[in-house]
Structure formats: structure tokens, C-alpha cells
Structure 1
């Protein structure tokens, strides 16, 4: 058995360069490992750290409610006992439909503690989308906000596996009545722990089933934040229902002993977020590119600066990076990942001088290639599918839950087939072109939307954009920018400028030839524009 069992022991803390970290990094995955035993109990049982804040959540009365590691251990133990009394057993699914809150964190961590599977579901889901996830996951107990709980109760007959609905306002009485004597289950690192459903923009979503070892795999957050430890305060608006929110925003910071800050149930607002950051002074965190765009648009300038932030989900343009460095943080790095396996590529500014608008190099502990349709490795500079080596990397999923066909398509010959189209330059940096089904095929060229979107997004009157291919009788598809404009923008002038700027900066083969204006983008619950819906609307 490896001698180390903690998230905090996975990274090379004194690495002087990317090459140094890559050469010395080795995943330390023990046979037995329990997420909560590591990221909560190992701190709580230390006299030095037990009273330190693990969570600090802004309540409805604008009071910051702090929970120490010692108290968090007690709460997860009590809820673990209560879940057991409700009939939850090892590998049963406990679904959690809550916003960022103490209750959401305690519910997830209690499920891990007893060896159950936590299935966080965004509070934004309703109706058939919510019921489908509860059905497919075979949820035994659901812990939900009052509105969701009422909706679930109304369709209880459609959920044959569901035994109990716990409303959030009932949760504390359940915890208070339960015994705190609940030791972590002796789970194996390979035992299932976390079930997260993909956004499902086309077809039914797939459930990515992760093992307890997924927490260890998220230790790479430390590289992307250029070091994180027990003196840090971590803040991100990302909900704890998605892999970036759960892995980067909850499991990893707690694993390194940091305090996780939260604005609670408040929706993202650039002004309120700036006030929160200035008041509670996080040192590290994650801000999505879309959130930074909104902050830039309203002229945010923080009086307190982050030491380092991580971003991702889409390409970070150079102009947005420059704005962020001037107004928000001392360091900004972008990471790349998927629900199936997070934090696999990234930029670490302190180690390198990356080229413009890259998703980064392979992070320590990972291996990646660009492949053709037959999985043969392609030379640098050629676009193909991104493949990631699976074996021994703890961040990758066990399987798609109850979907062996999709699992077989994802995992082939030891590689994770991401479906993302990328190229790699001679320095080893990857450049994102788009999802496989997002690539535009125009006049015989395969055109990735990402770099075109970067140019379009730089226009001062463009608030959001999506670049898609629309049917064209001559070219097959025509490169089209769909944009949401600032109030008062001159649409005709913006069209002219976007066509001219993309022609000059991208090239004659791939510039924007058509511009469409939209009032609001249809989005997934993670806030990403639904390209397929936009494409269908304008086709």
C-alpha cells in the first residue's frame, strides 16, 4: 500500500518548473480510501486544525456562518447515522438538490462517509429533467430544497426506488437527533462515490460515476492555483453540482485544508460578487470566463485581489486575461477538463510563458495525444481528437452509470476519447478547436469555432457569442457568429466590423461571413450556450 493517503500528498509542492513537476509527480492511490475520512476527519482530528473554518457560507441575513473542521466531522457523522437509519446502504444513491450551502456540503460528505454514492443535482433542474435523473440514478434518498421536494413528492409514483424525501428544513432536526458515532466506511479507492450527470444538450444526459479516488485526482488544482494550503480562503460561484464545483471547489480545497467560502443561494451578480470578494478576501478560487466577462462589462475593480484564480470551460481570450490581471488577481491560469475526467490540461503561469489562447499542456500525472479517426497519433500542428491516458489516473470516471455502450465508446485501448477537437504545437501546448460535433465544415476546410469566438468576443459591443456552421448551398456550411449585443449597439456596424476583424485575424478560409443577433442564448444549467439549439434556430 502506498504510504500516503491524502489529497495534500499528491502534488510536488516545491516544483521549480513544469518539467520538474512532471518528472517527479506520482499518483499515490492506496487500496482503501474514503473521501470524507481524508478531507474532513484528517484535519478535524488534528489539535492544530480542528477549530479552523472548513466552510464559511453567507446566510440569508448576510451573516457569514462558519463551520470548523471539527464541527463538520460531527455533522457528517450525525447525518451519516441518520441516512443509515433511513435505510441507506453502501453504494445506494443519495441525491442532493440544493444550492451552495452548509447543508449541501454536509449531505455530500455524509454520503461519502458511509460509502453511499452522492448525486448532486443542480437546483435549476425541474420537471422531467429532475425526475429523469432521480429515476435513472435509482435514488434511494433525496435531500432537496422545499420547492424541489414538493415537485418530487407530486410525482413520487414515478420513482419506485425512492424511499425518503428529506426537505432542507427537516434536515437539521434529522441531524440533531442522530448519534455522532459514525466512523468512515472502510471503502476502497475504487468504490463508487460520486455520480454527476452531464448537461445533456443532445439526447439524455449520461451519468459519470466516479470512485473515491476522484478527490485525489483533483489535487492538480494546487498546480493550477500555484499552491494552496490551510492558510487559504477559496471562493468560486460554481455550484457544487458540477465536476468543477465539486472537485475544484469543494473536495480539493478541503483536502488542502483551505476554507471554502460561499455566497449561499444567491445567483451570480457581478456587483454582489465583487462586494463579497472585497469583504471576505478569498486568496484563491475559480471564476468562469462568462462571469469575468460580466464583471468586466460593469467595470468591476476589486479593492482586494486574489493571489491566484483558475478559470476554464471555454478559451480565455488575451484581452480578458489582461483585464483580469489588472483588476481581479495577481495570477490567472486556465484548466481543461470534462465531467468524465477533470484537470488534465492547464496553464501554470509561474512556470511558463504560454502562447496566446491555449488550454495548456498536460498537467503532471497525465498523458495526452492528438489522434485521427483510427486512434493513430497525429503530428504537431494537425487537428484531431484529444485522447487521455486512463490507467492509474485517479480523476477519471469508473463508467457511465447503466450505460455500457457509451462507456465502451469512451474508453478504448487504455485511452479516454474526449470527443474534443484540438491541435498541439511544437512546445506541447494544446489549442482547442471545438467539440467533435461543433467543428464547422466549410468549402472543404474543418474550422474550429473557438479561436473565431475569441476574436468576436473581443469586440466591445459583444456581450456573448457562439460561432456555428449554418447550411450553405455553395460552401456546405457558412461560418456564422451569433451574438448578444450591448444595449444601444449599432447592429449594422458591428456586423461589418466582425466580418472585417475575423477576416484579418483568422484568415480568408474561416472568417465570419454571417452575423445573427440574439436577445438571450438558450443555455444549459451550467450556463453554457446550447449550440445545437442555436444552430437549429437559425438553420
Structure 2
């Protein structure tokens, strides 16, 4: 058992007691408080369109008013299916202002995936990017719970003369879709919401994130309002994010880490956020230089891309103070951090955190004055982490590997309508992560891989059974099995083993099947390689043994 003394490893300039800036209240009330305290301060800057806290609060109230008229009330699910943009943040807090539940959807999802997820969550309404509506339209024909759809064009929130290079989806000409409501019109026509919904921080569900859990197709992890408040407050305090800071938000807002840093941290801290629809090296460099960004959350390949940007040595990035980064495909090493520090003339770069969707991520943080390279840092505020022996279920000594289990006020309430999966993962308040890790004598956590079969592709969780269900819709597939294989850039990629139906052998190629899958699945999920085989290894009951596909030399069944 690891017995820790926080005085040994806790950073000297960070209080060990979590102190909520405005008290324990939902984050949408923090946003309203920001509007009252500093109404004219820029909250979000979107390619040169500066939105103040007063404007953001009014937009949130106007969208909440529309939602109320559509019958949305506490506990109702509303989905967000769009790229990073101010509309995403406005809608997120507009839903929560009514006590509703935000259901983020990855904009890379395709029709079959959307149909499954929207039915699972029983969504009442959806906000979609205009360019994504084609995928959504077919799925919605089979969603019985759906009552309204809102679409938006990103250009509605762009300035006349953008200050940063823009991706193509921001240049799409606006068109009104007859069967949907227009987001910009809603904000123009509706009066601000005047009501107030009391929220039970501990029990009311503010966010429902789809995750693979430990088995089966994606499940909806139910996160109460307290999860977002607690994890955001802990992240802000541990990393010393200040109201005076300017952050750069490029990670997908639909992803839990991007949500913490792009949706929640500016609202909690009151800092200004420069928001980009997606990562682009030139846009990121321009944003840091032009807006004097001080805080950035990145993944390591982003930093490497900037280091290799032509002419980067002549750019002024010295405003950067701290860069929390996640190892992904490329690890956050001391060498990389030193290169980054030299380029930026002093910016401190370190591993951001360990976490998962079921805990609203950020269960650890790296002490800025006691960095241990290769680790994920130490348990954050009010957090316990233990390493469990795979066989005995007992806690193991420091340095030994086992399953990571953790407990804190941010953990989820369970999986929607999945009591068995909930019982497997959530036990007496502890989340059994299915990840392999170890703790050293100082309490630093090290991540060693996944005990469960989930595949991690470009930061996204992919469960084999989900890919297999989608692949099996191909008319030529009799059986399929998905595994993760190492990928130097993406971390892992999906590889499929396929048993063809009689009559299809020799008539369909691996390349053709990959192209078919690309049309059916999100870009991070579709298989990058396919191998045709005669028979899948399985138990006598028919359960496919994916581990034997990874390790053909494994034990016999």
C-alpha cells in the first residue's frame, strides 16, 4: 500500500484545500456572475470576433428561452453536433441553465452511429452544424424522442475581417434548412430567459458523455453538475490559471478534456479564451502571437508541429506561461519540454493529467515545481488512487502494476440504463478504470496501457464491438473482429479481421472495404487495415478471442 504525505510532493504555491472561486454552484451561474462583475471583458475571441461576458450571458439566456418554449426542462437531453464555435458554448450553458443535460456528439460521427447514440440518450433536441446536417437527417427519421432540430452556420459568429487563418467549414455559405430552426434567428428573436432552475449539484445530471466503459457498445456516462464544477476548479487551482490569463482552445469541445479546458475553464476562472474550430499550426502560431496567449492545453503532436513550422524561430511566442500537454502518439518528454521552453523563451510544459470520461477527466495533475517525466502527476484535490492486483483484488505496493481505481467528487453516477455495466465499473464510490498503472513512493501515477480492449485512436475511445456492429452491415461480411494496433502518429489504429460470406472471396478487396467503412464511421474509428481470414478464434460458446488475434502464439482454448 502507498501511504502518502502531501507535504512531500504537493506544489509549494498551491493550497492543498480546494477553494471554489464563487462557491459551490453550477458553472452556468459562474457565467452569469462574470457578466455582472466584468461585463465588457472579452470572454471568447473567435477568429477576431470578440464576445464579452455580457454578450455570452445574454445569448445563453436567449437560447434557454427558446429551449423552454420547446418544452425542455430539468433532466431532458439535448445533443450538440457541431465543431468548436461560440454556438457550442452558448448552447451548452443554455441547456444547463434549464437543468437540462448536454449530450456532446463528435462531429465525425456518421448516420449509423448517430442513430444509435441519439436513441440511447433519448434526446429531445439537437443543435447541428449546417455542414453536418446531411449525416443527421437520415438518422433522425428513426429517433422517436426527437422534437426539434436547430442548425447553425459558423459564419454567423465570424467578424467581417477575420484575424486568423480559417478552416474550410467556416467558409460555407449560409443556407436556411426548412425543417430546422436557425440558431442566429433564435438569438435575435427570443427574449432572455428570466427564470431560475434550482440544480442539485450532486445528483442532477448536467452532462451525458458516451464512452465504451468496460464492455459492449458506447454507453452514456451520467455526470452530475458537481463533476464539471469540481474538476474545473481543481484544474484551475492546481495549474494556477488566473482571471488575467488568455487561453487557447483548440482541442475538440465535444471531448471531455477539450470541454474542461475550452468550455469550463474560461467560465470558472473568468479568463479570456481564443477559440479555434480545429488545430492548424499557422492559426495556432498566429493566435498565440497576436492575442498574447498565456495558457495552452495541447497534445504533444501539436507542439511538435509548431516546432517544425517554417520560420517559427522568428515568431514571438514568449507570452506563453504554461502549457499543459497530453502524450499522444508522441510522449511529453523532458527533451520536448526543453525545446518548447527555448522556443517560447520560458514557457513551462508538462503532462496535463490522467483521467477518463467517467470521472470528467483530470484526476491527477503535475506539480509544476516537482515534475516527473513519464508520469501523469499526482492525485488532484480530494482524490484517492489505488492500484489493484488483477488476480486477488488487493491493493499492491508502490512500483507494482495493476488496475487503476480512483475516487473523488467528480466521478459519474453510472451508465444510463446499464446497471450491470455500472456495477462492474463503479463500486462503493470507486471507479475501476480498466487501465493498467502503478504508483511510485511519492504518489505519482504511471499509465502502462489498457486492461480492457478499448482502442485509443487519436485521443478517442473506440470499442471493438462498436466497430464490428457497423462493419457487419457490409453485405459481404460473415464475421469480423477489431483490435488495436500501434500507430506512431495516432497512438493506435483499428485493424479488422474479416471472414467473408461464401461467394465474396476474391470479389472484394481490403482497400474497397476500407473505403466502404470510411463512409460509415467517424474518421478516427474506421479500420486502417483489414485482413481476410477463414475463421475467427473463439471459445466454445462463440465468444471471439481478440487477444489471440493480437498474439497468435497465445495459449490454446
Q: What is the TM-score when the length of structure 1 is the normalising length?
A: 0.73
Please name the residue that 2:301 is paired with: 290
Cα distance in 2 for partners of 1:100, 1:481 equals 29
Please name the residue that 1:43 is paired with: 34
Cα distance in 2 for partners of 1:405, 1:250 equals 32
Please name the residue that 1:401 is paired with: 416
| Structure 1 pair 201–282 and aligned structure 2 pair: CA distance change class (3 A) | farther
Counterparts of residues 276-425 of structure 1 (less than 5 Å): 276-298=287-309, 300-301=312-313, 302-305=315-318, 306-312=320-326, 314=328, 315-328=331-344, 330-334=347-351, 335-341=353-359, 342-349=361-368, 351-352=369-370, 354-373=371-390, 374-390=392-408, 393=409, 395-425=410-440
1:215 maps to 2:221? no
1:105 maps to 2:120? no
Shift of 1:428: 1.8
User: SS state of the match for residue 380, structure 1?
Assistant: coil
Cα distance in 2 for partners of 1:270, 1:31 equals 38
| Structure 1 pair 19–280 and aligned structure 2 pair: CA distance change class (3 A) | closer
Shift of 1:397: 1.4
CA RMSD of aligned residues (A): 3.4
Please name the residue that 1:5 is paired with: none
Please name the residue that 1:248 is paired with: 261
Q: Any conservation in 2 of the 1:53–1:259 contact (CA below 8 Å)? A: yes
Please name the residue that 2:503 is paired with: none
Which of 273, 282, 287 is matched with 2:284 structurally?
A: 273
Which of 114, 119, 122 is matched with 2:98 structurally?
A: 114
Counterparts of residues 449-528 of structure 1 (less than 5 Å): 483=488
| Structure 1 pair 86–126 and aligned structure 2 pair: CA distance change class (3 A) | same
Shift of 1:65: 0.8
Shift of 1:33: 3.3
* Structure 2 portions without partners, runs of 5+: 1-6, 154-181, 455-484, 491-517, 532-545, 553-557
| Structure 1 pair 29–483 and aligned structure 2 pair: CA distance change class (3 A) | closer
Shift of 1:24: 3.6
The number of residue pairs the alignment matches comes to 435
Shift of 1:201: 11
Please name the residue that 2:444 is paired with: 429
Please name the residue that 1:497 is paired with: none
Counterparts of residues 188-267 of structure 1 (less than 5 Å): 188-190=200-202, 191-198=204-211, 203-217=216-230, 218-225=232-239, 227-264=240-277, 267=278
Shift of 1:380: 0.8
* Structure 1 portions without partners, runs of 5+: 1-14, 59-63, 440-479, 486-521
User: SS state of the match for residue 336, structure 1?
Assistant: coil
| Structure 1 pair 528–236 and aligned structure 2 pair: CA distance change class (3 A) | farther
Cα distance in 2 for partners of 1:88, 1:211 equals 18
Cα distance in 2 for partners of 1:153, 1:428 equals 49
Counterparts of residues 57-206 of structure 1 (less than 5 Å): 57-58=46-47, 64-169=48-153, 170-190=182-202, 191-198=204-211, 203-206=216-219
| Structure 1 pair 376–405 and aligned structure 2 pair: CA distance change class (3 A) | same
User: SS state of the match for residue 139, structure 1?
Assistant: coil
Shift of 1:71: 1.1
User: SS state of the match for residue 284, structure 2?
Assistant: helix
Cα distance in 1 for partners of 2:20, 2:530 equals 43
Which of 45, 48, 70 is matched with 1:56 structurally?
A: 45
Deviations 1:14-60 (Å, cap 9, x if unpaired)?
Answer: x997166888414769998332112x1111122xx1111111111xx
Shift of 1:243: 0.8
Cα distance in 2 for partners of 1:331, 1:182 equals 44
Q: Any conservation in 2 of the 1:316–1:357 contact (CA below 8 Å)? A: yes
User: SS state of the match for residue 148, structure 1?
Assistant: helix
| Structure 1 pair 483–256 and aligned structure 2 pair: CA distance change class (3 A) | closer
Q: Any conservation in 2 of the 1:240–1:249 contact (CA below 8 Å)? A: yes
| Structure 1 pair 316–112 and aligned structure 2 pair: CA distance change class (3 A) | same
Q: Any conservation in 2 of the 1:233–1:260 contact (CA below 8 Å)? A: yes
Q: Any conservation in 2 of the 1:310–1:333 contact (CA below 8 Å)? A: yes
Shift of 1:327: 2.0
Cα distance in 2 for partners of 1:483, 1:32 equals 42
User: SS state of the match for residue 337, structure 1?
Assistant: coil
User: SS state of the match for residue 394, structure 2?
Assistant: coil
User: SS state of the match for residue 287, structure 1?
Assistant: strand
Cα distance in 2 for partners of 1:230, 1:254 equals 10
| Structure 1 pair 90–31 and aligned structure 2 pair: CA distance change class (3 A) | farther
Cα distance in 2 for partners of 1:528, 1:229 equals 37
Cα distance in 2 for partners of 1:86, 1:166 equals 11
